[in-house]
Structure 1
Amino acid sequence: MIQPHTHLNVVDKSGARELMCTRIIGASNRRYAHIGDVIVVVTKEAVPNMPLEKSEVIRVVIVRTCKELKRDNGMIIRYDDNATIVIDQEGNLKGTRVFMRSLGN
């Protein structure tokens, strides 16, 4: 479950490294976001000389969460971190490559 002020990792080559959730897109009273949801974030840490800069407000899609996800067949999926992919206003990817595991750390 992702809520405002949650820190997230980025798993694409868009230039951002660490993000912080500011708003969950959807109904006005949504408290949490899950895998596949679009959220608004602010960049806390960025790679130098890349298109995205620190303190830039962007949209992302959540691809991994620490909170487990239960499927209809009974399987439970859980990840080690909260991870996202950066998108633009139309929903296209900003990064050129998506990694299965996060960089660094």
Structure 2
Amino acid sequence: MVQNETYLTVCDNSGAKVACCIKILGSSKKKYAYLGDSLKVSIKKINTYSKIKRGGVYNAVLIRSIYNFKRLDGSYISFNDNSVVILNNKNEPCFTRVFGPVIKELKKKNIFGSKIISLSSLII
């Protein structure tokens, strides 16, 4: 469960390290983002040689959350951090790899879920 002004780790090789949530996309009154939701983020920390600039505003998809996620079989999944992957303004991926685990339900929730899952190394 992520809300505005939440700091998020970036878990792809786009060059960004830390991002801050500006807005949760999808509805004007949406207060919280869950796994698979789209966000508008501002980049706070970057690697030294990166094509992503500090302070830039990008779209992102939430792929890991500390908040529990309930599966259809009744089990719960939670992660240790809130993580996103960065998309550009045309909603195309800015990365070629995703670090860490990704849930398989992301494929159904987001239009870029299949692309994110194919670039990930571990699917839970």
Please report the TM-score for the alignment, with normalisation by the length of structure 1: 0.91
- Residue in structure 1 matched with residue 31 of structure 2 by the alignment: 31
Letter in 2 for 1:70: K
- 2:8 match: 8
Matched residues in 1 for 2:23 and 2:38: separation?
A: 9
Q: 2-side partners of 1:89 and 1:57: how far apart?
A: 9
Q: Tell me what 2:88 maps to.
A: 88
In structure 2, the partner of 1:69 is: 69
Q: CA deviation at 1:88?
A: 1.8
Structure number with higher relative contact order (C-alpha < 8 Å, ≥ 6 residues apart): 1
Cα distance, 1:18 vs structure 2:
0.2
Distance in 2 (CA, whole Å) between partners of 1:18 and 1:96 is 18
Structure 2 residue runs of 5 or longer lacking an equivalent are 102-124
* Counterpart-to-counterpart distance in 1, 2:89 and 2:44: 20
Query: What value does the CA root-mean-square deviation take over the aligned residues?
Result: 1.1
Q: Between Structure 1 and Structure 2, which shows a larger proportion of helix residues?
A: 2
Deviation digits for residues 55-84 of structure 1 (CA, Å, limit 9, x no counterpart): 111110000000001112101000000001
> How far apart are the structure 2 equivalents of 1:53 and 1:88?
12
User: In the comparison of the two structures, how many residue pairs are matched?
Assistant: 101
- TM-score using structure 2 length: 0.78
Q: What is the Cα deviation at residue 9 of structure 1?
A: 0.4
**Which whole-Å CA distance do the structure 1 matches of 2:46 and 2:85 have between them?**
14
Q: Does structure 1 residue 20 correspond to structure 2 residue 16?
A: no
Poorly superposed stretches of 4+, deviation over 3 Å = none
3-state DSSP of counterpart to 1:99 = strand
Which 10-residue stretch deviates more, 10-19 or 88-97?
A: 88-97
